[in-house]
């Protein structure tokens, strides 16, 4: 049995056991990270997205998985609440950002979380319709809701440096409960 099938089998056993215990998305993300060697480059495929995740981990001291999941939750809310034109403009300003948005964020770490617990990663990151949903996702990633505003500030600052216009930054800031 090669290493990858063993890791996948071990991950499947961990995920199957998680239904009997409290589900912890951070632990599952760490397990997937171990399966991918902790390499978020599978998701952060452009210099812009790598820079964004680097800014989050460097400024906030969060793990790669927390940076990825937190960004996915906030971008999931933006995707669900912004007009299609505004969201498209954001995606064009930061190439590769679509890979960090919503459920793509954790699915990109290896696809292992896609159907966990009836779609837990999808439920946490893909169907974010309120700031309360964002806070729940942050909690599942081992972060308190105070981190939501800190993430939003780093994202807004980074997006501004990538050329996102002030009107869109203000819309995102309002949506995320942070000033642009």
**Out of 41-55, 69-83, 85-99, 166-180, least confident range:** 41-55
Total domains present in the chain:
1
State residue 5 phi and psi, 5-degree precision.
-60, -35
Comparison of pLDDT for 125 and 97, the residue scoring more: 97
Q: What is the pTM of this model?
A: 0.69
Pick 60 or 43 by higher pLDDT: 60
Q: Is the pLDDT assigned to residue 36 strictly greater than 60? A: no
Segments forming the whole domain that contains residue 106: 3-176
Band of residue 124 on the pLDDT scale cut at 50, 70, 90: very low
Say what the pLDDT of residue 102 is.
Answer: 54
């Amino acid at each position: 049995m090669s290493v990858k099938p063993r890791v996948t089998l071990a991950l499947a056993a961990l995920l199957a056991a998680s239904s009997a215990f409290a589900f912890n998305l951070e632990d599952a993300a760490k397990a997937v990270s171990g399966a991918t060697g902790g390499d978020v480059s599978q998701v952060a495929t452009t210099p812009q997205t790598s820079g964004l995740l680097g800014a989050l981990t460097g400024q906030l001291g969060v793990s790669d998985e927390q940076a990825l999941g937190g960004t996915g939750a906030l971008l999931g809310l933006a995707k669900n609440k912004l007009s299609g034109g505004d969201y498209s403009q954001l995606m064009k300003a930061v190439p590769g950002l679509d890979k960090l948005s919503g459920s793509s964020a954790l699915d990109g770490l290896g696809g292992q979380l896609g159907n966990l617990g009836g779609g837990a990663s999808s439920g946490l990151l893909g169907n974010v319709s309120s700031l309360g949903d964002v806070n729940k996702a942050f909690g599942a990633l081992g972060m308190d809701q105070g981190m939501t505003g800190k993430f939003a500030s780093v994202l807004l600052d980074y997006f501004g440096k990538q050329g996102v216009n002030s009107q869109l930054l203000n819309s995102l800031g309002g949506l995320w409960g942070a000033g642009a």
